[in-house]
């Protein structure tokens, strides 16, 4: 094995590595170094999780940065961006400035230029490029983490467009793509003109197998007998792991399923805990309760955590997720029952991974999951430093299913990664952004961009997508987003703004129609936002149906779109109701209905509320910018206010005070009810009086007072104007 001293890296880099337990390279790392990645060579590193890919990327970035260069690290998810930020902070001691930027799509990003290593989501990088940010011309190494995301139907094309643009820069930056062990990684390395480092090596070896009839059969020919007690195979497998001192991750296809299996396992796991563990788990529960949520989900979570088990899905709030992840990393929570989103998210390994359902429901049909998805889940098995071996086990219902699972998944190969650029949805967004980023663009220039894409690399050219590109161009011309000028394409003012505010042109068409035809109304505008393809919709439960049916009957006049007939077109009608339910959630939110009430009434999680609120805030901002571009002053003002109300979840009357840090929807209401209704009121109220109000206290009151005085100064400098949208978070 290669020692780090042989790397020809500055002394302080080697010292930092040693401080983090890195003395010699793992085999895939050595292969990458021997193939010249530290000398600027482009490469695809395809290896399992924890095989050391990120560390190779870190070394390439640090080397360039210490030579005066700059690095861009692209990730698919915000949670991963934050995780990487923590990881890279080890280099701050060397004077390296690391930053994260994942939000605020409508910005040029001048403030990001100070970072040596910038971690961005793919979407944020795309948005910065649309604003012509000069950041990219200064970047000389780009890392694309989880590059297999190119295959993802809704988001793969964005990563592809970003990388295609980066490849075209002069001089081109070094590109390092990190990937799971996919079948056609060589096509990606061919595309980026780099070497392929492919490895199956793992720091903790992985055994994969199928469980049926009390026995796990592994791919290496070994067997393991598991006692059956609980009447549930996954619970038995998890209990077996915990009895032997390990931890388990159970993957379930639905949220409901993950919560049910958590309850079922918790009654078994509870008996395997030590007194000390039980005490520590009660402390975790106390922390959970102190975080303030009191709804069906938080109560169920508290019950299972007390017994050493948790569930983990997108409905959890960020605090709940953090508590669960931390409790698991501390080896107090012994079992997590999760939906597959965990497999693609933060790194949370366990000794044994149990996959209960290899099918998931898609549009009402149960379909088998792709092999790639199985391998991602299986790859979570084995905690480096704690486990000698990791185990991934699929649960079979009968002998026939056992053979099928063995063949398809355990011995199967992950699917090929295929470009998703050819979909018209993707093309519509990216063609507009390409045209809008230049003053004028001939069709040849547009097509030459596509000739550099991964799509063209895989398909031997872009000919096959020409008809789709033509369709999209027609759509953009018909709706006035682009026009033909001197035989070249040019974006209109509206088209340019739509590309910049980062919405699908189809969303923009709906918004423009709504603005032109609808009266100003809260629920009407919220519903309009919820009809756009950029807005996710809430799932409609059986219980919801009569409630929203009646709601629609009582509010017939406020909807922009025609209400589908529920008898002749039940599918369309249900879709419509799910849009209405989503709009209703937002309406409750800005009417200051308590979060826990929304969670229980609409059968959602706190995490869903935040996610929807964030997207709705962005779309409302986009709608206000569109209204502004169209010269619609009243609508712009209305939408701006609505955007702020969505951001904080408040009625209009609280807008005056909620902008201050430390004042959210709850405190703003307390202040308002105490007669403190504006910044001016805050200025004239004593510190003691503010501090004496419920849920405020001296520390927050001081913070508020400090801000009021600096706000005062700012206001003197810049009178009037609309509130600023929240800027990039770091």
Q: Which residues bind ligand ADP (CB under 6 A)?
A: 20-22, 25-26, 29, 47, 49-55, 384
What's the closest the beta carbon of residue 29 comes to ligand ADP, in angstroms? Answer: 6
Q: Which is nearer to ligand ADP, 26 or 311 (CB)?
A: 26
Read out DSSP for 462-492? SGGGHHHHHHHHHHHHHTTSEEEETTEEEE-
Q: Which two three-digit tokens encode residue 261?
A: 């299996």
φ and ψ at residue 439, rounded to 5 degrees = -65, -45
Question: Least separation, in Å, of the C-beta of 534 and ligand ADP?
Answer: 31
Rounded distance between C-alpha atoms, residue 559 and residue 651, angstroms: 22
What is the CB-side half-sphere exposure of residue 713 using CA atoms within 13 A?
A: 5
Pairing of strands 335-338, 248-251: parallel
> How does strand 482-485 pair with strand 488-491?
antiparallel
Least distance in Å: CB of 144 to ligand ADP? 13
Q: Are residues 518 and 511 in contact, defined by beta-carbon separation less than 8 angstroms?
A: no
Residue placing its CB nearer to ligand ADP in the complex, 16 or 174: 16
Least distance from C-beta 338 to ligand ADP, angstroms?
18
Handedness of CA 256, 261, 262, 264 (dihedral sign): positive
Spatial CA neighbour of 575 closest among 533, 615, 610: 533
- Cα distances from 173 to residues 449, 487, 488, in angstroms, run 17, 33, 30
C-beta of 29 vs 151, nearer to ligand ADP: 29
Tokens of 502: 């980062």
**Closest distance to ligand ADP from the beta carbon of 729 (Å):** 23
Q: Is 137:72 a contact under the CB 8 Å cutoff?
A: no
The 3-state DSSP class for residue 273 equals coil
Spatial separation of the C-alpha atoms in residues 326 and 548, rounded to whole Å:
39
Least separation, in Å, of the C-beta of 18 and ligand ADP?
A: 10
8 A C-beta contact, residue 121 and residue 78 = yes
Query: In whole angstroms, how close is the CB of 413 to ligand ADP at the nearest point?
Result: 20
Provide, rounded to whole angstroms, the least separation between the CB of residue 192 and ligand ADP. Answer: 18
Query: How many of the other CB atoms lie within 10 Å of CB of 325?
Result: 20
Question: In whole angstroms, what is the distance from residue 211 CA to residue 188 CA?
Answer: 36
DSSP E strands: which ranges in 243-356? 248-251, 309-312, 335-338, 352-355
The smaller minimum CB distance to ligand ADP, of residues 33 and 269, is found at: 33
Nearer of residues 20 and 229 to ligand ADP, judged by Cβ: 20
Q: How far is the CB of 51 from ligand ADP (least distance, A)?
A: 4
CB nearer ligand ADP, residue 203 or residue 662 = 203
Which is closer to ligand ADP, CB of 9 or CB of 22?
Answer: 22
What is the three-class DSSP state of 360? Answer: strand
CA 335 to chain centre: 24
In the complex, minimum distance from the CB of residue 174 to ligand ADP, in angstroms, rounded to a whole number: 18
Identify the CA nearest to 729 among candidates 635, 650, 661. Answer: 661
- Our CB check for ligand ADP shows the closer of 153 and 384 to be 384
Radius of gyration of the chain from its Cα atoms, rounded to whole angstroms: 27
Question: How far apart are CB 660 and ligand ADP at their closest, in Å?
Answer: 39
Instruction: Report, in Å, the least distance between residue 55 CB and ligand ADP.
Output: 4
Closer residue to ligand ADP (CB): 293 or 387: 387
Rounded distance between C-alpha atoms, residue 58 and residue 36, angstroms: 15
CB of 624 to ligand ADP, least distance (A): 41
The two tokens of residue 5 are 């001293």
Nearer Cβ to ligand ADP (49/241): 49
**Do 75 and 121 form a contact (C-beta atoms < 8 A)?**
yes
How crowded is residue 228: how many other Cβ atoms within 10 Å of its Cβ? 14
Q: Which is nearer to ligand ADP, 42 or 179 (CB)?
A: 179
User: Could you tell me the smallest distance in angstroms from the CB atom of residue 333 to ligand ADP?
Assistant: 21
Identify the H or E element spanning 620. helix 606-629
Q: What does the buried/exposed string (b/e) look like for 333-359 if buried means 16 or more CB atoms within 10 Å of the residue's CB?
A: bbbbbbbbebbbbeebbbbbbbbbbbe
688-702 per-residue burial string, b: 16 or more CB within 10 A, e: under 16: eebbebeebeeebbe
In the bound state with ligand ADP, the residue whose beta carbon lies nearer, of 21 and 720, is: 21
Say what angle helices 606-629 and 493-500 make with each other, to 10 degrees. 160
Q: Which pair of tokens denotes residue 680?
A: 């001016």
Question: How many secondary structure helices (H) and strands (E) does the chain include?
Answer: 32, 19
Minimum CB distance to ligand ADP, residue 47 (Å): 6
Other Cβ atoms closer than 10 A to 296:
13
What are 412's two structure tokens?
């199967």
Helix (H) or strand (E) holding 266: helix 255-269
Residue 611: CB minimum distance to ligand ADP, A:
26
How do the residues of the chain divide into helix, strand and coil, expressed in percent and rounded to 5?
55, 10, 35
The runs of H, that is alpha helices, within 178-232 are: 185-191
We find the least distance from the C-beta atom of residue 48 to ligand ADP, in angstroms, to be 7
């Amino acid at each position: 094995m290669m020692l780090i001293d042989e790397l020809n890296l500055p002394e302080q880099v080697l010292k930092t590595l040693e401080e983090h337990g890195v003395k010699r390279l793992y085999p895939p790392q050595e292969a990458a170094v021997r193939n010249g990645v530290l000398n600027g060579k482009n490469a695809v590193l395809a290896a399992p999780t924890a095989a050391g890919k990120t560390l190779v990327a870190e070394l390439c970035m640090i080397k360039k940065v210490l030579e005066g260069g700059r690095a861009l690290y692209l990730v698919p998810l915000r949670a991963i961006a934050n995780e990487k930020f923590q990881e890279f902070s080890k280099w701050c001691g060397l004077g390296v400035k690391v930053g994260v930027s994942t939000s605020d799509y409508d910005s040029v990003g001048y403030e990001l230029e100070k970072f040596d290593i910038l971690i961005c989501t793919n979407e944020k990088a795309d948005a910065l490029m649309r604003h012509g940010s000069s950041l990219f011309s200064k970047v000389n190494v780009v890392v694309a983490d989880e590059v297999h995301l190119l295959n993802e139907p809704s988001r793969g094309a964005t990563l592809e467009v970003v990388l295609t643009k980066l490849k075209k820069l002069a001089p081109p930056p070094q590109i390092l793509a990190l990937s799971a062990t996919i079948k056609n990684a060589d096509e990606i390395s061919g595309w980026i003109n780099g070497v392929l480092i492919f490895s199956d090596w793992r720091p903790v070896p992985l055994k994969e197998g199928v469980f049926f009839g009390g026995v796990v059969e592994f791919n290496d020919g070994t067997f393991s007998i598991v006692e059956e007690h609980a009447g549930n195979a996954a619970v038995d497998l998890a209990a077996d792991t915990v009895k032997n001192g390990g931890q388990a991750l159970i993957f379930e296809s639905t949220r409901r399923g993950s919560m049910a299996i958590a309850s079922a396992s918790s009654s078994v796991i509870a008996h395997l805990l030590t007194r000390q563990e039980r005490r520590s788990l009660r402390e975790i529960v106390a922390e959970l309760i102190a975080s303030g949520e009191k709804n069906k989900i938080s109560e169920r979570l508290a019950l299972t955590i007390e017994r050493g088990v948790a569930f983990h899905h997108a409905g959890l709030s960020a605090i709940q997720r953090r508590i669960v992840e931390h409790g698991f990393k501390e080896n107090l929570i012994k079992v997590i029952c999760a939906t597959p989103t965990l497999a693609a998210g933060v790194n949370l390994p366990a000794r044994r991974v149990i996959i209960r359902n290899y099918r998931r429901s898609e549009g009402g049909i149960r379909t088998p999951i792709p092999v790639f998805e199985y391998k991602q889940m299986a790859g979570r098995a084995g905690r480096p430093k704690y486990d000698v071996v990791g185990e991934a086990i699929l649960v079979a219902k009968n002998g026939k299913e056992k053979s099928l699972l063995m063949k398809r998944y355990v011995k199967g190969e992950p699917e090929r990664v295929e470009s998703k650029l050819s979909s018209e949805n993707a093309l519509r967004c990216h063609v507009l952004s390409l045209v809008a980023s230049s003053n004028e663009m001939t069709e040849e220039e547009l097509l030459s961009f596509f000739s550099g894409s991964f799509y063209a690399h895989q398909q031997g050219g872009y000919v096959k997508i020409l008809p789709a590109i033509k369709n999209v161009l027609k759509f953009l011309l018909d709706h006035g987003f682009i026009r033909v000028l001197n035989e070249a394409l040019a974006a209109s003012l509206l088209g340019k703004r739509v590309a910049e505010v980062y919405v699908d042109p189809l969303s923009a068409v709906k918004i423009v129609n709504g603005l032109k035809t609808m009266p100003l109304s809260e629920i009407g505008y919220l519903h309009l936002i919820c009809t756009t393809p950029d807005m996710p919709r809430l799932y409609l439960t059986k219980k919801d149906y009569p409630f929203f049916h009646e709601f629609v009957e009582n509010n017939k006049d406020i909807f922009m779109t025609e209400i589908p007939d529920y008898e002749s077109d039940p599918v369309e009608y249900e879709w419509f109701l799910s849009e209405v339910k989503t709009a209703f959630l937002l309406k409750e939110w800005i009417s200051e209905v308590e979060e826990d009430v929304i969670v229980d009434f609409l059968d959602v999680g706190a995490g869903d509320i935040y996610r929807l609120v964030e997207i709705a805030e962005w779309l409302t901002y986009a709608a206000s910018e569109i209204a502004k571009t169209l010269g619609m002053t009243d609508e712009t003002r209305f939408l701006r206010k609505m955007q702020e109300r969505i951001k904080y979840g408040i009625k209009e009357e609280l807008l005056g005070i909620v902008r201050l840090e430390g004042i959210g929807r709850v405190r703003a209401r307390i202040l308002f009810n105490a007669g403190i209704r504006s910044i001016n009121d805050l200025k004239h109220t004593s510190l003691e009086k503010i501090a004496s109000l419920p849920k405020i206290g001296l520390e927050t009151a001081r913070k508020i007072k400090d801000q009021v005085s600096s706000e005062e100064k700012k206001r003197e400098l810049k009178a009037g104007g609309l509130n600023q949208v929240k800027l990039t978070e770091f």
